Structure 1
Amino acid sequence: MIAAATVDDGGADDAELVVNDRTCIVTREATSPEMLIRFVASPAGDVVPDLKRQLPGRGCWIKGERALIDTAIKRKLFTRALKTEVSVSPDLGALVDRLLVADLLGMMSMARKAGQFVTGATKVDAAIRSGAAAGVFHAADAAADGVRKIDQARKAWRLGTEAEEDIPSFALLTSAEMDELMGQNAFIHAAALAGQAGEGVVKRANMLKRYRNSGQSGARSGAGRPEL
């Protein structure tokens, strides 16, 4: 597939974005929009992230990794790519992180309403062993013993089904962070279930994990506490 230009003239045509690859302004690599974050210049001349790829105007793309956004700021690549003088907040990388977290939590809420997100160690264990779990979530400061028991269920499921990959496991927020952001919906252990909404949760969790560039994949194997 021939890569599209580094910049685009608008985010309204989702069909075009799906068909064409885009090019990261930092790495110069062409890839699908799902692996990239789009940025545009606001009417005031500020660079703003466009996670939904819907804002109007010329846009540019960066692979979804925090370090690459920091590099783009340092090298003043936004002005060159957007072909206009723009103001870039030094906290742009942190803003994107917050937006990705909000997007993930919003999808968790939708999945919960659709019956595709369950919480509590007992329900998570049952979802794993039944094959219904699309992804497992822990508070980053969850007790190691609780995580170990759920990892054992993931391992048993994989051995029993001879699956090539583990059910992915994530630990992206501490319990205190979830209490602040989610209120009564906070959890220590949870599972996204198979289905459009549950799989949307896993997709967004993978994106946040890649963005934070921890060096860990979304899928984990073995026991022990999951890492950020």
Structure 2
Amino acid sequence: MRTPQNESLTPTIERGRAGEKSPERRCILTGRHGERAELIRLAISPPGLDGRSEVLPDPRARAPGRGAWLGVTRAELEAAMDKGQLKSALARAFKSAPPYVPEDLAAQIETGLLRTLTDRLGLEMRSGKLILGSERIAEHARGGVLAALYHASDASDGGSAKLDQAWRVGMDREGSGEGGTRLPLDRAALSVALGRDNVVHLALVDHAAAKRVDQALTRLLHYRNASADIREGASAAEAT
């Protein structure tokens, strides 16, 4: 996956211990290998009354049993479904009769990836690692203690620029042009996800939390093939 302009070259997928890579998996459509954390897992349901199993997205990779892995964008998946390639690949992966593939599988996967991202943000907030409010974020940013800075998709350029500048000052990177990451979520969606009113900007003060959020975000953007359009800056987490 190409690194957009102004985006950190530091790998954004979370590792286990220092130097360790997560286990690799093989995309059933392309045959390419990738780290487990980068791919999307599919699972199959138990057979129904008709004896058929159904393919289900498993964005958190927690469903029991054998899984199949995808490393493609939504457009590539939809093309494979139209050509019948996905059904054949699933039959080989699960070593069974072709499971039932719902017509909206591609949409289900995107919904699941988006939910994983919003759930992760909520978890980090409840654990005290995510902070809200422009003044509070700016104070932490100028102090150089932010691990990541994010803006809603409909945040004003002026408000985002002020926080980006505070972050650059705190990180001693003035003139770099780096800044926070614009999320694929508007303020309404962020407000619902975090249970707060008018969430426009948010930040993380823990580097491990920032990596967890960035992992969920990276997988969603790769699936949407939207990295170059959405990710406008490098977060502090990516630059460390």
Measure, in 1, the Cα distance between the counterparts of 2:82 and 2:106. Answer: 12
After superposition, give the CA deviation of every residue in 1:59-90 in whole Å (9 maximum; x if it has no partner): 22111532232233223233222322222222
* Pair 1:182–1:69, CA change in 2 (3 A): farther
Shift of 1:144: 1.8
Partner of residue 170 from structure 1, selected from 179, 182, 197 = 182
* Pair 1:109–1:64, CA change in 2 (3 A): farther
Choose between structure 1 and 2: higher strand proportion. 1
Measure, in 2, the Cα distance between the counterparts of 1:202 and 1:215. Answer: 12
Partner of 1:189: 201
Measure, in 1, the Cα distance between the counterparts of 2:187 and 2:218. Answer: 19
Shift of 1:221: 4.1
Partner of 1:67: 75
Partner of 1:156: 169
Partner of 2:152: 139
Partner of 1:220: 232
Question: In 2, are the aligned partners of 1:168 and 1:218 still within 8 Å (CA)?
Answer: no
Find out whether 1:129 has 2:129 as its counterpart. Answer: no
Task: Give the secondary-structure state (helix, strand or coil) at the position aligned to 1:118.
Answer: strand
Shift of 1:34: 0.9
Read off the aligned partner of 2:78 and give its amino acid letter: D
Measure, in 2, the Cα distance between the counterparts of 1:73 and 1:210. Answer: 18
Measure, in 2, the Cα distance between the counterparts of 1:186 and 1:101. Answer: 19
Contiguous gaps of at least 5 residues in structure 1: 1-17, 223-228
Partner of 1:54: 62
Partner of 2:34: 31
Read off the aligned partner of 1:204 and give its amino acid letter: A
Measure, in 2, the Cα distance between the counterparts of 1:111 and 1:179. Answer: 15
The two structures, once aligned, show a CA RMSD in angstroms of 2.9
Greater mean deviation of Cα atoms: 192-201 or 111-120: 192-201
* Pair 1:79–1:188, CA change in 2 (3 A): same
Shift of 1:20: 4.1
Shift of 1:185: 6.2
* Pair 1:24–1:220, CA change in 2 (3 A): same
Read off the aligned partner of 1:63 and give its amino acid letter: G
Partner of 1:21: 24
* Pair 1:194–1:64, CA change in 2 (3 A): farther
Find out whether 1:40 has 2:43 as its counterpart. Answer: yes
Measure, in 2, the Cα distance between the counterparts of 1:182 and 1:176. Answer: 10
Structure ranking higher on relative contact order (CA contacts 8 Å, 6+ apart) = 2
* Pair 1:174–1:218, CA change in 2 (3 A): closer
Shift of 1:168: 4.8
Find out whether 1:96 has 2:109 as its counterpart. Answer: yes
Measure, in 1, the Cα distance between the counterparts of 2:231 and 2:82. Answer: 32
* Pair 1:116–1:216, CA change in 2 (3 A): same
Question: In 1, are the aligned partners of 2:44 and 2:55 still within 8 Å (CA)?
Answer: yes
Measure, in 1, the Cα distance between the counterparts of 2:190 and 2:72. Answer: 23
* Aligned residue pairs, count: 204
Shift of 1:36: 0.4
Q: Percent identity?
A: 27
Question: In 2, are the aligned partners of 1:166 and 1:219 still within 8 Å (CA)?
Answer: no
Contiguous gaps of at least 5 residues in structure 2: 1-20, 48-52, 92-96, 235-240
Read off the aligned partner of 1:134 and give its amino acid letter: A
Greater mean deviation of Cα atoms: 146-155 or 33-42: 146-155
Greater mean deviation of Cα atoms: 52-61 or 175-184: 175-184
Shift of 1:161: 5.1
TM-score by length of 2: 0.72
